[in-house]
A and B are shown apart, each in its own frame.
Chain A
Amino acid sequence: MTASASIGTRPGRWSHELQAGLAVARRTALVELRYRNKFAMDLIGHLIGLAPIVLTAWALSGGRHSNRLTELAGLPDPFTFVLLGFVAFSSIGLGSILMLYTGAWSNVGWEQTNGVFERNMLAPVRRGTILFGISGYFTTLFAYHAVTLFLFGWLIFGLQPEVTWTGLGLGIVALLCLLVTSCSLGVIGASLTLGFKEEELYLLIVSRPMTVLSGAYFLIELVPQPFRALAMVNPLAYAIDAFRGALTGHPLLVPNNGVAIGAAIAVAAGMSILAIPVHRRMTHRMVQKGTLGLF
């Protein structure tokens, strides 16, 4: 235990760490590939996950005839609002029907139970590199979800974004911020799962509250108090709003796209900064308690 801990904490060169992180991501992909049904569902589950939301929106708006969104928020097409929100949602891993089983936090929980995690910690790299590598694989998967959902929405549902070069550029920046946020959230979730041995804990205190109050496919202004106040301090709500705002012309939570993108960058940076001490503290706790593996 002590030997593995000392090797695991030895800092390496950045190129070495990056290489190790990529190796971990590649290995995670290879492990995922072994579960063919899961892998297939990882590739199409987000499109299936969209179906009930689209069908409900269709029934509520009678196709796409609702003018309520125009009156309330100046957005002409309810489907564009819902679809862009869902694209942003999926970039943080919440679009798939397997959202509870696909992510760094559920992956490391499995590795810990099977004893693989302890073995991985013997690698002569920083421990965080391993967690970021695992989370990196899932972030790549979520990027694929976001892009394919956007294309699917455009081709099948006639998504009507206001595509200007500036808007597209801001949209890409917002998406990248969401992906960085997603990667960092993956590390935070994995650290909490490992540290407290409770897979549900991350769901309970981070994932679900942030999800329900994100305004991905509803207007935050319609959420009753005190939940609206909580939604207004939810960082994910601003990141999602920045992405949608870039592609609809204007965000809903802040005055303009510049501020929205600034907020999305701040959220990504904040989450990344938060992920480092969280994973350090949790790993330290596990090493001290000898609970890197749970047999």
Chain B
Amino acid sequence: MATKTAMHSLISHVNSLRITAIDSLTVAHYRLIAQLRARTWFVTASTTAFFMVGPLVLLGETLVGRNGERLQPFFELSGYQNYTGYLAVPLAFAVLTNSAYSWIGQAIRSEQQAGTFERVLVSMRYPASLLLGGSLAHLAFLAFFIAFGIASVKVLADLQLDVNWPSALGAGLLHLYAVYGFAFILSSLFLWIHDAFIVQQSISYVIIPIIAGAGYPIAILPGWAQVVAEVIPFTWAFELERATFLKHSSLADMPSHVLLILGTSTAMWIAAAFLFRLTLRRARQTGTLGLY
């Protein structure tokens, strides 16, 4: 009897996963079709790193310089002499993965305004598929954006990359694990706050480029801010990316970084699931699933 119940439960779980996967793929498919309507979007997104990271890399050239006197102090502070790579690699990741926050959350708002959100929820077994599907569609082009982004910044400055490819891929995946956890948390805002896009933009801006130190070593921050930075997975993800892209380091050399990213990101995924369920129930109760 017990074996039969366990078997039933297992089949039910497998079935749930299968349905979630199918729903997510359907969402991803339609999301990509919708995005194709904005013809210039792909070019704009591809060139984001060049336009957003380029000026900061050139700031490095202006203040440090290839043989400048600031090279040694910067090495002592950051552990890197390669200041252009130090800036460009994590900033490219930060700028390009930033699209996840708008891509996933903003899509919910668009569906709310178009009136299709209610319709999608009716046909979907698990609402989380909406977020997972959005992430799948986002992933479809993200790798290209990151590769193109770093290559385009290389046109402006000599980045001197020394990449350990398997570890760099691992670092990128860990970063994405954190990014999607954070994006799912921020997506819940769209079911709760009217101008959520601004709140989402502000939170992600303060946390990623400012506190997590995408463009500088967190050692220059005051003590309390360093403590805050150390509980943010992006801080460690940026460190991993610098090490694997610039120093040929392996993930095995930095196990504490890997564990910290995995731990904090998993916490974000759990918090996101809880928040999404909570805000969705609230939206259903208050009749604010659609915004016309």
Contact = CB atoms under 8 A, between A and B. Distances in A.
Given A35-B198, A216-B55, 14 more contacts: A37-B198, A41-B198, A45-B202, A59-B215, A68-B68, A68-B69, A78-B63, A97-B202, A198-B39, A198-B40, A204-B40, A212-B51, A219-B58, A224-B157
A219 B62 contact: yes
Contacts of A217: 55, 59, 62
Given A82-B59, A224-B156, A58 B216 contact: yes
A39 to B, nearest CB: 9
Contacts of B2: none
A111 interface: no
A41 B56 contact: no
Measured as residues with beta carbon below 8 angstroms from the partner, the interface class of chain A is 35 or more
A61 interface: yes
Closest 8 A/B residue pairs (Cβ)? A218-B58, A59-B216, A56-B215, A208-B51, A60-B63, A35-B195, A200-B40, A200-B44
A204 B51 CA distance: 10
Given A59-B74, A200-B44, A212-B54, A224 B198 contact: no
16 contacts: A37-B199, A37-B202, A52-B210, A52-B216, A55-B215, A55-B216, A59-B216, A61-B70, A62-B73, A98-B198, A101-B201, A204-B44, A208-B44, A212-B51, A222-B61, A227-B156
Secondary structure at the B interface, as helix, strand, loop or mixed, is helix
A38 interface: yes
A223 interface: yes
Contact of A59 (B47, B61, B197, B217): B217
Contact of A222 (B56, B62, B70): B62
Contacts of A201: 40
B59 A53 contact: yes
Measured as residues with beta carbon below 8 angstroms from the partner, the interface class of chain B is 35 or more
Interface string B19-42: 000000000000000000011110
Nearest to A100: B201
Interface of B: 38-41, 43-44, 47, 50-51, 54-56, 58-65, 68-70, 73-74, 77-78, 83, 87, 155-157, 193-195, 197-199, 201-202, 205-206, 209-210, 213-217, 220-221
A204 B73 CA distance: 38
Interface of A: 35-38, 41, 45, 48-49, 51-53, 55-62, 65-69, 72, 78, 81-82, 97-98, 101, 198-201, 203-204, 208-209, 211-212, 216-219, 222-224, 227
Contacts of B216: 52, 55-56, 58-60
A67 B215 CA distance: 21
Contact of A56 (B56, B69, B73): B56
A48 B74 contact: no
Contacts of A97: 201-202, 205
A68 B51 contact: no
Contacts of B65: 68
A227 B198 CA distance: 33
A83 to B, nearest CB: 12
B205 A60 contact: no
B70 A55 contact: no
B38 A52 contact: no
Interface centre among A35, A82, A203, A218 (most CB of B within 10 A): A218
Contacts of B73: 62, 65
A48 B202 contact: yes
A203 B47 CA distance: 11
Given A97-B205, A204-B44, A212-B51, A58 B220 contact: yes
